[in-house]
Structure 1
Amino acid sequence: MNPILIAVLLLSGIGLLLGVGLGLAAHFMSVKENETAVRILSELPGANCGACGFSGCAGYASALAESPGVRTNLCPVGGDEVAARVAAILGTEAAKTEKKTARVRCRGTDACRVRVADYEGISTCRAAQALYNGGSGCAFGCIGLGDCVAVCDEGAISIREGVAVVDEARCVACGKCKDACPKKLITVTPVGAPTVLCRNPEKGPATKAVCSMGCLGCRLCEKACPHGAIVMENGVARVSRSKCTGCGACVEACKFGVIYLK
């Protein structure tokens, strides 16, 4: 028999056997999709940010479909509209989503902070942090090279006077900027919750020497709060959300405007 014909027949036979084997494997080993999860996933925004607490939109959809205790209002990107559509699929009552926003815990603009060097290198915060904090005298403040800006899909962050600033009207609280910041300065917090815009734990004189807008640990805010909602931790004021009523007494007491309350 012709050797070429033999080779063709052998290859055809191998291909046929492999095809049959793959077909049988697909039939007996396939995992059926949860139709409810597929429907829920089609309603989610697809940001895959993980702000809901799950691995992404698919993970959240699967959890909603398989675990009755998972809340339908955990997606900050989709908001109330998506929560209502998901609740309709599950046949449950729609719950309101808590509006959250990212905030940068630093107010040390170029005019406020001391510079100890001029940074000339890779224009990212992560790279600059490894080399004299990008030239800033404060080792705890915003470097201002925009790693957070680069990852924000909503265009909600900009660099103004050397510091990252969040446009809360555009922010969807996905948390990507929080993960991108090498200084861990960005927090995701409920809108309306007070935020201390400083993370420098050094004593007052040391903080003041590098930034005129830093928290000095003077305790004026702590003394002014009638609800005991402010405590000092590592030299920086911290607000307890469970105790805070939003009265604004701490904001008025702070001489440097470090506490933000919208």
Structure 2
Amino acid sequence: MSIIKAIIILGGLGLIFGAILAYASKKFAVEVDEKEEKILEVLPGANCGGCGFPGCGGLAAAIAKGDAPVNGCPVGGAAVAAKVGEIMGVAVDSSEKMVAAVKCSGTCDKAKDKYEHQGLKDCRAAAALIGGSKACSAGCLGFGTCVSVCKFDAIKIENGVAVIDEEKCVNCGKCKEACPKALIVEKPASKEVFVKCNSHEFGKAVKVKCSAGCIGCGACAKVCPVEAIIIDNKLAVIDQEKCIGCKVCVAKCPTKVISGDISDRRKVTIDEEKCIGCTACARACKFGAIEGEKKQPHKIDQDKCKGCHLCLPKCKKGAMSLVDEEIKATN
């Protein structure tokens, strides 16, 4: 009998407490914006913090309140931004994808060391000891601290230098924050041409420490047809908005510190029988290498042609083709 009473009492208490909790949950409920919930559903859930907020929940709340842009998620990219923009009822900026880039070419075979590092394999710890083991004070230390903070497997250490996998990179900024040398920056994913050095020393000092460093000679700036390169404090700097990707600077750089694949650089020739003289190719050429009157077959001055191929997509008649001979890197 006592057992039955105990069960009844406990059951009654359960019902009473349940009713109290149900009332309290309604009375003191925190209203959640419906848009916030919808935004959270479309966010990738990586919780990487690359957006500047504490996880996807923080970003969703900020977007719903108007405190963050609809394209604030670096992981989701344009696809997620479009969905969030639809929820918020605003247009989405279709800006280009940005990725991380490492401003160093000082691999183990090119950069010299001041001493042999035998301590903790961490870039921040190494940098605290007279700037690290590399002779170049601006060089990548190569211990992979950036690798350890990347949640997307987008960085690896190759021959002593951090290398970014642009396909995997979401530009969350974690590697940038972790690098004690401030060597990791962002650049447009479509821009291949990039100065992989961050040294501001004089050319002679750079050469002594690293054979792949920028010596500030200015050769790249001189050959750039659109004035997209300047020498700032002894270091070449590329204005990515001006850069047309002709890669002439890549071929001209004596230390090969400017990235860009020039293996397919060939001069261009024109089939005069197919050319209708529309002048589209001539207008695209930044080197004055294409000559000819309007509605007359054009010709290419091979001495001026740099193999940038900016003219090729402009020809709609298939009158342009590549010369077999590869252009020398010093062109």
| Pairs aligned (count) | 239
Distance 2:112 2:118 in 1: 17
The answer to whether structure 1 residue 208 and structure 2 residue 207 are counterparts is: yes
Q: CA deviation at 1:51?
A: 3.8
State the 1:211 CA deviation.
Answer: 0.2
The answer to whether the 8 Å contact 1:74/1:97 transfers is: no
Is residue 48–residue 151 contact of structure 2 (8 Å, CA) maintained in 1?
no
Q: Answer whether contact 1:229 1:241 (CA < 8 A) is retained.
A: yes
Q: In the alignment, which of 62, 67, 77 is matched to residue 79 of structure 1? A: 77
Measure, in 1, the Cα distance between the counterparts of 2:44 and 2:164.
21
Unaligned 5+ segments in structure 2 are 1-19, 262-331
- Show CA shifts across 1:189-227 (max 9, x none): 111223211001000000010000000000001111111
Q: Which has the higher contact order (CA 8 A, sep 6+)?
A: 1
Distance 1:228 1:92 in 2: 37
Q: Secondary structure at the match of 1:133?
A: coil
SS in 1 for 2:205: helix
* Larger fraction in helix: 1
Match of 2:183 in 1: 185
Structure 1, unpaired ranges of 5+ = 1-19
Q: Which residue of 2 aligns with 1:113?
A: 111
2:70 alignment partner, SS class: coil
Residue 243 of structure 2 corresponds to 244
CA distance in 2, matches of 1:187, 1:240: 14
Q: In structure 2, give the amino acid aligned to 1:202.
A: E
Residue of structure 1 in register with 2:280 after alignment: none
Q: Indicate the residue corresponding to 2:135 in structure 1.
A: 137
State the shift of 1:56 in Å: 4.5
1:169 aligns with one of 164, 167, 191? 167
Q: Greater shift after overlay, 166-175 or 203-212? A: 166-175
Give me the TM-score of the superposition, normalised by structure 2.
Answer: 0.66
SS at match of 1:85: helix
Change in 2 beyond 3 A, CA 1:105/1:26: farther
Between structure 1 and structure 2, the one with the greater Rg is 2
Residues 61 and 97 of structure 1, relative CA distance in 2, 3 Å threshold: farther
State the one-letter code of the partner of 1:154. Answer: F
* C-alpha distance in 2 between matches for 1:219 and 1:122: 39
Cα shift at 1:93: 4.8
Match of 2:155 among 157, 172, 195: 157
Q: Partner of 1:13 in structure 2?
A: none
